Amino acid sequence: MRLEKKQRYVPVTNADKRFGDIIYHSFRGTTIYVIKGKSGDMLVDTGLFHVRRAVRRWAEKFDIKYIFLTHAHADHDWNAAVFKKRFGARILLNRKDFGLRNGFRTLSPTRKKYWFKCFHLNITGRLFPSPHYKVDIPIVNEGSELLEKLGFKGRFVFLPGHTDGMTALQCGDTLYCGDAFTALFYEPEIPPYAVDIKTMKRSLRKLLSTNAKWLACGHGLPVKMSDAGKVIEKYLNEN
């Protein structure tokens, strides 16, 4: 499923209902989400410095009380400290990614065509660590218990491979999956890089076992699970 040209990374200024109840802001290759809660809203990831102003203006339309980081790569957590201060929000992150907040683990390309991009990222990732931020709520278990305490209906799903602590959040039919799956290159695609490809493959199988109908990716617009499944199964069969 190739995205239509007009859909590619057009800034969204309000809640867009083209994908059901998914509320998102897509700008310059980065997609940020908001999940509504009983006692405040949750921002899913924060983007890099080049989207800070646009995302902040958009997020100000909501009552942001929490910032959920799917993983601790700079393009997802760079603005965490700034947004935490701006909204008075509490940050959630999988404990296994704590070591990545001011560091970087070598990534491997998941396909040969991503070799150069991966090589470049392994260099820049070490040169430009994210500004330091404090995690207020460590995520240590899967399931719904923590989310229920915070006023959200959903569950955490651990999908390691892209990072050790890669974590998705499922609300209803939507799985907010960070970089466990992507549409960065304008069509459904597996993550181009991983710290552990074997682990990532297991997580892709686990992703398919969920009952989600939509994948809200960290890059690109939301993808139908039916379309993502074809890409995942092909990759697993060929690799």
Q: pLDDT grade, residue 86 (50/70/90)?
A: very high
Average pLDDT in the 166-173 region?
96
Q: What are the DSSP calls for 83-116, one per residue? A: HHHHHT-EEEEEGGGGGGTT-----EESSGGGHH
pLDDT tens column, 14-70:
334 446 689 999 888 889 999 999 999 999 999 999 999 999 999 999 999 999 999
DSSP class per residue in 24-45 = EEEETTEEEEEE--TTSEEEE-
pLDDT one-digit tens code per residue, 136-167: 999 999 999 999 999 999 999 999 999 999 99
Residue that wins the pLDDT comparison between 221 and 81: 81
HSE-CB of 21 using CA atoms within 13 angstroms: 11
**Both tokens of residue 55?**
């995302």
pLDDT bin (cut points 50, 70, 90) of residue 122 is confident
Q: Which domains does the chain have, with CATH numbers?
A: 5-238 (3.60.15.10)
